[in-house]
Amino acid sequence: MNKTAIVLGATGFTGGILLEKLLADTSYEKIKLFSRSSVTNTSDKIEEHLVDVLKLEDYKDAFMADEVYCCIGTTASKTKDREVYRSIDYGIPVAAAKLAKQNNITTFIVMSSMGAAVSSTVFYSRTKGEMERDVLNQNIKNTVILRPSLIGGRRPEFRVGEKISIGVMSIISPLLIGSLKKYRIIHPEKIATCMKILAHKHQDRKILSSDEILTIAKSKE
């Protein structure tokens, strides 16, 4: 099919796994990466744009593809400054969605987080909620927002608090059933698989909880 995909956040945990999946798919001819740093993969399919992603709107001419996957995100522990945090978790996805709309890209898949809500009193959750609202406001035909719970797996960087949380949730997760399933730990490989499936399948639901992400990912197993 000779498709082109744009990936934002390919140097991150989930984004890196997604990149490998897209590279292995013969229907993709080119994978464009917009990032401040380079990935280690040297595939001929990769077209890297090493840019200031906080000024993504400056690269409209290069931001051309069939699909956009946005895996951008930071944490409160890594980014203490609220203004900087917002410029990443809100600014980059919304700028990408606006560019996608302007360039007639009809598929936009973005990672958010569980608990995202415009009305939240928690800055992190409110920022994610505002990002979701303004991405959806672009009215891109196939827009899907993923709200994963705590992401498991072995990260490249060591995060003490997150490691403790994952350890506790690993014990609790099997006990979370019914409506509580959405709080179970989810592996980044499942998120990446789900994102890739969603790009090829019309999804009536625009916002997916963690258990829904897992169900879609498992449909290909």
pLDDT at 154: 55
Domain residue limits, the chain: 3-218
Among 88-97, 133-142, 191-200, 211-220, whose mean pLDDT is lowest? Answer: 211-220
Checking if the pLDDT of 50 tops 90, the result is yes
To the nearest 5 percent, what fractions of the chain are helix, strand and coil?
A: 45, 20, 40
Q: What is the pLDDT of residues 151-179, one digit of tens each?
A: 875 545 545 444 545 454 455 555 455 55
pLDDT at 168: 47
When pLDDT is averaged across residues 192-217 and rounded to a whole number, the result is: 89
Helix ranges (DSSP H) in the chain:
13-24, 82-86, 92-102, 123-136, 160-172, 188-199, 210-218
CATH topology of domain 3-218: Rossmann fold (3.40.50)
pLDDT at 66: 97
Beta carbons of 88 and 36 less than 8 angstroms apart: no
When pLDDT is averaged across residues 80-87 and rounded to a whole number, the result is: 87
pLDDT at 196: 95
Beta carbons of 41 and 19 less than 8 angstroms apart: yes
Residue with tokens 């197993």: 221
H/E run at residue 35: strand 28-35
Percent of the residues in the chain that have a pLDDT greater than 70, as a whole number? 83
pLDDT at 121: 95
pLDDT at 166: 45
pLDDT at 77: 64
Length of the chain: 221
pLDDT at 32: 98
* Cα 194 to Cα 201: distance, rounded to the nearest angstrom: 10
pLDDT band at 192 (very low <50, low <70, confident <90, very high): very high
